[in-house]
Structure formats: structure tokens, C-alpha cells
Amino acid sequence: MTRAWHGDWYERVKQRVKQRGFDTATAFVDSQPTTSLLVLADELGKDDVAASQLEKILIDEAEDSGTIARCAKSLLVRELHEELPEGWRTEWDEATWFQVSKAYGAWAAALGERYEQSYRRVWDVFIDTMPIPAGWLPAGPDDPILVEAFKHWNAPNHDAT
């Protein structure tokens, strides 16, 4: 077992973020919008910070600030970059579907049941109706394709930005 879960991990991660000059974990990850949370967690502490800890803090910050849709976009950007490093495909074979399914599964797991209706709605629009060009990968949460898909987020009591 790693040392990541010992002690007050929540405070440790937040302190590491501040040591790097950022007020919030959100600001820290926003500085590298396409980098995986695993890599970012390693930057904060290879032996004692886990990606899932960083993810939890990001979601907490987003819920506190009413920016969960933006957080969801940011997490989706990272998953797409991780699973489709060469970009969106025009030909969908079994391997491509598997990669896309992995991205969706990790994204959905991060957001949890609370946001299930919203992320399912966005994903359905994203996969079924969005005209996504070959090679596309979002540069960040403000990517026009994501912004359009997230018009369907519609989570109660949260913004859609």
C-alpha cells in the first residue's frame, strides 16, 4: 500500500498545490488542461499523492463553487487525451470503441451517481449527434464541441459553464 492514504491526505494534497503557487487544485490542473490526473498527482508527490485524491478534491471544489459542469468537461478532456492520443477516429473498430468506452467509464466513475443523468445526456449527444472531425482532441474545457455537448448537462442547482 502506498503512503498516499496515510494521514490527512486531503490537506496534504491541498498544501502541495499551494506550494506550487496555486490557490486551488482546480487552478493547478487548469494550468495543464490535457494532462492526466495520474501525471499531475505524480507532480504533487509520486509516493504520497494519488490521482483519485486529486479527482475528489476537484469535484469538491467544483461543487462548492457551482462549476461542476466545467469540472466534468475538464475531466472528459483528460480522459479523451489519455485514451485517444491520436485524436478522434473516423473508422470505429472494436479497439476504438474499447478506448472510447474506457474514457467514458473513467469519466462516469469520477462523477458518480449524483451526476449520472447529466453525464449520460451529454455523452449520448456527444457520441450520437456531434459532428466530430477526424483527429479532434479538445484543448481544454472551453472546446466548442464540448461546450455544445454540455448544453445538455442540466444538473440541478449547478451552472452549465
pLDDT-derived band at 57, boundaries 50, 70, 90: very high
pTM of the model: 0.90
Instruction: Tell me what pLDDT residue 7 has.
Output: 84
Q: What is the largest CA-CA distance in the chain?
A: 48
Q: Is 1's pLDDT higher than 70?
A: no
Q: Is 62's pLDDT higher than 50?
A: yes
pLDDT-derived band at 2, boundaries 50, 70, 90: low
Three-class SS string for 73-107? HHHHHHHHHHHCCCCCCCCCCHHHHHHHHHHHHHH
Nearest to 70 by CA among 61, 79, 80, 57: 61
CA angle 31, 52, 58 (to 5 degrees): 45
Q: Is 155's pLDDT higher than 60?
A: no
How many whole angstroms separate alpha carbon 108 and alpha carbon 86? 22
Q: Is 159's pLDDT higher than 60?
A: no
Q: What is the pLDDT of residues 98-151, one digit of tens each?
A: 999 999 999 999 999 999 999 999 999 999 999 999 999 999 999 999 999 999
Q: Is 161's pLDDT higher than 90?
A: no
Instruction: Tell me what pLDDT residue 6 has.
Output: 81
Classify burial at 54, counting beta carbons within 10 Å of its beta carbon; exposed 0-12, middle 13-18, buried 19 or more: buried
Classify burial at 91, counting beta carbons within 10 Å of its beta carbon; exposed 0-12, middle 13-18, buried 19 or more: exposed
Domain ranges (residues) in the chain: 1-65, 66-161
